[in-house]
Structure 1
């Protein structure tokens, strides 16, 4: 019996261990991921703890994802945070080490990309677009709030140029600070979204946008003051969502007009928030800016992008 040929993706980010398998046609054949454990009341992990948890998680996730009979014919892995020469983080060495070992033993090709490029590839694969060679990429997460201009190269890779983003606090950090202060678990994104859904209205917070540059420390400070003053948690959670959504809209609107680019792909954990997505789609449509959104589970950290990139390279498919 012939085994199904698949491409393996591995991503060991700051707070998620993940593996994914795509077949030669680009369909998801298997996937497993696990969020790293953070003690209650804390807002993060040391790199050494991330490395330990990734090392512990990967064998179990590989066993789960490969429960069927597969033949791995290529591997894609996140080797660093961003596509820059000096970009480095120990957590990614865990996935890279396993990928290199598997590739060497099995004598199959290995393609290394950055975590940010993994998000791009996962978004493109899941959203099936943008169907243009030049578009904006909003990467909003706990460790990144970047607006990038993505330009496709002849070899199918993308040149990413930062054209906007936060100058201080990241979007996910904003959410986590308020969420943890409310007693919600870290990472707090999903809990804040669920709490906000119960609100009858939202508490207005300041929005600071200048061209492509944004500041989130001011809105976060304002939110903390309102919470300390006894603000209703659900309404404040809704206010955090609104402030972030409106910040993204204004930033994208400014840069889109300046760069004459009218397609934007949303990726990252914060970009999976349903309210933020709907607000952005509605507001940006008025400026004829099309928003491309991957399935919500492929917007946060996941390994599907690494597998998708390996599949595109392996199949010679640069469409």
Structure 2
């Protein structure tokens, strides 16, 4: 008898990903491919992203599904960046086209969510919480540094309302500007984290937080000036991590107090950094706020959240 599965597809700015979970919500398989960026460049045009996603998706779908006795019960897919009206990015069209085609052929239920909701669902699924009515989520990545109030709705989905975030650079842009200047390959997050491990002390950089809003352009400029002045590479990398950790901790501390919540979910590529997580966790614990973090590989861009949502919503409907 075929096993019913729930498929997830996500085509973000820099990762093509496919994932499948079973009837018990456990991961059956996943495959992902980071988009190729030429050395020295800080990104890709949307047309390049669409091309690479379109090329990657068939192979990744085959890797997860071919040779398995599966029956698609539902498909979750990221169709746009944020859960806002008119939120649009061409990169997500590649995933949508494959998901809609598979749903039409198999009769599987199609669940379309935003990339940001995919991150939230991946976090809830991997961290196993917080399963509360209201919590805060910080989505920290190359394209987002958003503080969101997440509120559960009667239909099982969550309403996400942005209540704070960066007023200029996103956290990932800060990391990548410094990382590329250090000669690291874009996206530079993993390499910068590894480089920082060799540092004895961090280079001191400014922290700019005003209630629930933060600024990262000043710290980025300061970091680049320190590099020009001869700062040691590993110490500067560690300084970036410490600065982001303190920035996040202050913003989340203020947000938890303002909205009277005791649970915070940290997701996104920058949110997978171990030192940043540890710093935020220690600071929030002093205020009796619990930090929830997914496994590192499910914090960065991946399709597990789309699969988990399709499973969660349709298992609820079916019994």
Q: TM-score range by the shorter chain?
A: over 0.9
Question: Tell me, which stretches of 5 or more residues in structure 1 are unaligned?
Answer: none
Alignment of 1:10 with 2:9, yes or no, is: yes
Matched with 1:241 is 241
The offset of 1:259, in angstroms, is: 1.0
Q: Deviations over 1:104-156 (max 9, x none)?
A: 11112101000000000000000000121100000000000001000000111
Q: Deviations over 1:289-310 (max 9, x none)?
A: 1000101100000000000110
Describe how 1:1-319 pairs up with structure 2 within 5 A.
Answer: 2-67=1-66, 68-316=68-316
Q: Structure 1: which 4+ aligned runs deviate by more than 4 Å?
A: none
Question: Tell me, which stretches of 5 or more residues in structure 2 are unaligned?
Answer: none
Q: Deviations over 1:50-88 (max 9, x none)?
A: 000000000111111124332211100000000011100
In 1, the alpha carbon distance for the partners of 2:315 and 2:258 equals 36
In 2, the alpha carbon distance for the partners of 1:235 and 1:190 equals 16
The offset of 1:247, in angstroms, is: 0.2
SS of the residue aligned with 1:205? coil
In 2, the alpha carbon distance for the partners of 1:307 and 1:88 equals 21
SS of the residue aligned with 1:33? strand
In 2, the alpha carbon distance for the partners of 1:300 and 1:91 equals 17
In 2, the alpha carbon distance for the partners of 1:216 and 1:97 equals 36
The offset of 1:317, in angstroms, is: 6.6
Distance 1:317 1:206, change over 3 A: farther
Q: Deviations over 1:165-214 (max 9, x none)?
A: 00000000000000001100000000000000110110010000000000
Structure 2 length as normaliser, TM-score? 0.98
In 1, the alpha carbon distance for the partners of 2:204 and 2:147 equals 24
SS of the residue aligned with 2:254? helix
Structure 1 length as normaliser, TM-score? 0.98
SS of the residue aligned with 1:52? helix
In 2, the alpha carbon distance for the partners of 1:281 and 1:255 equals 15
In 1, the alpha carbon distance for the partners of 2:273 and 2:29 equals 24
In 2, the alpha carbon distance for the partners of 1:69 and 1:296 equals 29
SS of the residue aligned with 2:150? strand
SS of the residue aligned with 1:147? strand
The offset of 1:163, in angstroms, is: 1.1
In 1, the alpha carbon distance for the partners of 2:252 and 2:292 equals 13
SS of the residue aligned with 1:162? strand
- Greater alpha carbon shift after TM alignment, 309-318 vs 286-295: 309-318
In 2, the alpha carbon distance for the partners of 1:255 and 1:30 equals 36
In 1, the alpha carbon distance for the partners of 2:245 and 2:164 equals 15
The offset of 1:262, in angstroms, is: 1.4
